[in-house]
Every structure is written in C-alpha cells, then in structure tokens.
Amino acid sequence: FPSHDTATLTVNVVSANVTSSAVSSTICINNSTTLNASSLLTLNGPTGLVAVSCTADNSGGGGSSPISSVVFGSINHTPTVASPYYNLNAPVAGKTTTILRGQSYPLTVSSGAASIASVWIDFDRNGVFDASEFTQLWTSASTGTVTITVPANATLGDVAMRIRTRGTGSSNGSADACTQFFSGTTEDYTITIVDQSDAPIS
C-alpha cells in the first residue's frame, strides 16, 4: 500500500467579506483540487439628494412638542430647536447612516412634550415623500421606537428621511409631509441605501 502524508495549508485573504468553501478530499501527488470563494460586494447608487418636493413648515410656533432625539442606525442626534423649527441636517457623523435593502432597523425618536410623530423615507428616490413611504411613530406620546423595513426594491443611493412632530390631537398622517404645522418641529436627514451581492473570486 502506498504511504499517506497530511499537509495543512493556510490561505490568507486580503479583502473583507470573503466566504470560502472546500470539500475534504484525498489528493494524489501531482493532482489538484478546487477551493471556491466569493466576495460580498457593496452595490452603491448616486450620491447627494435629489431635490425634495417641499420644505417643511412649522413656523406657527414649533417650539412646542419639539423633536429632542433621533436614533437610527449610526444617526444619534439631539436637534437644536429654533425658528423656523425645520432642520436640513448635513450628512456628517451622527447625522447620517447607511442601510441595506431588505433589512429592518429600529428608529427611536423622542420629543420634548407629548406629540404626534411621523417619518417618511424617500425609498424610490424621486424627491417626493409618498404616502407609501410613511410610518406613524406614535399618536400621543413623547418617545417611541418603530421598526423600519427597507424595501427589497428600494432605489440605491442617498435618499431623504423626514421626521415631523406636532401637538397631540392634531393631524400628522401620510399626506402631511409638506403641510404647514403650527406646532412641533421637522428634521430632514440624508441616508444611504446600499445592496450586497456575492461575486466569485477568480
């Protein structure tokens, strides 16, 4: 009978997010086997926001029921409340985040007093906060957490997220992304939607 030797080989991977698979087998001298590997690639879309259809208006006295905290992915922001009670936040650390298609994320918002609160995310990146992109945070509270699920067909790239509060008992529904409010505040953020796919490594 021929003798058998065992050898252990180390494979060094120089890029992140690589998965590999190998089936244990016997290899004869001067023969070969195949090691399969794939890399998880991030698919990105356009950078920068498309022009949104409206600027929120809380100018009637937004200092009541203001948004006091927003936590979503890597967003962890304590807004400053001042007239006209609307902030378009620059996409800097603590005020922007990257989310994946098809995944779910908790969004936690607080307000300085009891309010009604809502969020819209422009998942189709058309510059309009559609009713289908609306989530009610709460109707009479000062803090709450909802789960935001990114549609599997969401458009890749930078999109707008709008959060609005208003005094309890007022309307703040799916059609109110652009309505003039006489209480509460509005915060707009840039979030980035990406996708991932396996690509073979040759």
pLDDT tens per residue, range 162-202: 999 999 999 999 999 999 999 999 999 999 999 987 655 55
Alpha carbons 27 and 21: distance in angstroms, whole number: 17
Residue-level pLDDT at 123: 98
Alpha carbons 115 and 183: distance in angstroms, whole number: 9
175 phi/psi in degrees, rounded to 5:
-95, 5
Q: Is the pLDDT of residue 96 over 60?
A: yes
Cis peptide before 200 (omega within 30 of 0): no
Question: With a threshold of 0.75, does the pTM exceed it?
Answer: yes
Maximum Cα–Cα distance across the chain: 92
| DSSP at 95 | S
Average per-residue pLDDT for the chain: 86
Residue-level pLDDT at 22: 55
Q: Average of pLDDT values for 119-148?
A: 97
pLDDT band at 131 (very low <50, low <70, confident <90, very high): very high
pLDDT band at 8 (very low <50, low <70, confident <90, very high): low
Q: Is the pLDDT of residue 11 over 60?
A: no
**Residue percentage of the chain with pLDDT more than 70:** 79
Contact predicate 184/66, CB 8 Å: yes
133 phi/psi in degrees, rounded to 5:
-100, 15
Q: Average of pLDDT values for 121-139?
A: 97
Query: Helix, strand or coil for residue 132?
Result: helix
Residue 173's Cβ-side half-sphere holds a number of Cα atoms within 13 Å equal to: 4
Residue type, 91: P
